[in-house]
Amino acid sequence: MPLRVLLVDDVVEVRRLVRTSLRFRGGFEVVGEAADGPEAVRLASRLRPDVVVLDLDLPEIAGADLLSQVRAAAPEAKIVMPEEGGLGRLVELIESLEEDDEDDTTAAVIDLPHELSSVSRAREFVRERSAEWGIDEPLDDALLVVSELAANALTHAGSSYRVRLSATAEALRIEVDDDGAGTPEPQPLSETDEHGRGLYLVSALASSWGMGAAEGGGKRVWAELALPAPRAAGRAE
């Protein structure tokens, strides 16, 4: 069965580009399109898509409110939020959400406890695996992203969590599964409110990020960081 996709973006040219790319790739069905927040929530509830490609900067409902409402309307859907410059890999990213990657040799997993000290263990895990795989850039960004995702699991889910790291020729992917049912809420940086700062930084650093249900229950929050072109060229040879 094709993956059922809901496209949410107020720029019609962006929706047309993604829709056309998915059609040519095959294996996808665009079941709906929305140009504003209320329509996105309505279609998510009625269509129950497998994947929602979501622009958070929409009229009427935007940002954390939109993300929470879309997830409540379609709780089983995987939500993808491409950042600026992330559109080129979007089709492959959507496809990868449903692939079985148990045989992916460039992947590693660590289970961590509900302890503040586990955040440093998560960073060390990413540092060590990246060194094994020959990834030295963007290591600083990857360490910041895994720190923020781990802290999010500790603070908002209040549970132990699992970190999964994987790499392709184009991107380094960081996933964090926890037992929480809430929706992460990225907020603009401010001098008075620290809530949501971590996910705001994740969205700024990542080429794409998103969330969905974890395999064993709870939620999964993930982010992808683009790898430099020389690495991509080397892996492709």
Phi, psi angle pair for 216, to nearest 5°: -95, 20
pLDDT in tens, 38-89: 999 999 999 999 999 998 888 888 777 888 899 899 988 999 888 655 555 7
What lies within 8 Å, CB to CB, of 61 at 6+ separation is 36, 37, 38, 40, 41, 69
pLDDT in tens, 156-177: 778 899 999 999 888 899 999 9
For the chain, how many structural domains are there in total? 2
In-domain check, residue 101: no
Q: Are residues 128 and 89 in the same domain?
A: no
Q: Are residues 47 and 162 in the same domain?
A: no
State the Cα–Cα distance between residues 199 and 206, nearest whole angstrom: 10
End-to-end CA separation in angstroms for the chain: 33
pTM: 0.73
* Contact yes or no for 197/216 (Cβ under 8 A): no
* Contact yes or no for 144/205 (Cβ under 8 A): yes
Least confident of 120-134, 138-152, 179-193, 208-222: 179-193
Q: Are residues 61 and 129 in the same domain?
A: no
In-domain check, residue 72: yes
State the Cα–Cα distance between residues 164 and 136, nearest whole angstrom: 18
The CATH number linked to 212 is 3.30.565.10
Range of the domain at 65: 3-96
From edge to edge, which strands make up the β-sheet containing 51-54? Answer: 28-34, 3-8, 51-54, 78-82, 208-213, 219-226, 171-178, 161-167, 107-112
For residue 75, cis peptide bond before it (omega within 30 degrees of 0): no
Q: Are residues 52 and 142 in the same domain?
A: no
In-domain check, residue 133: yes
| pLDDT of 230 above 90 | no
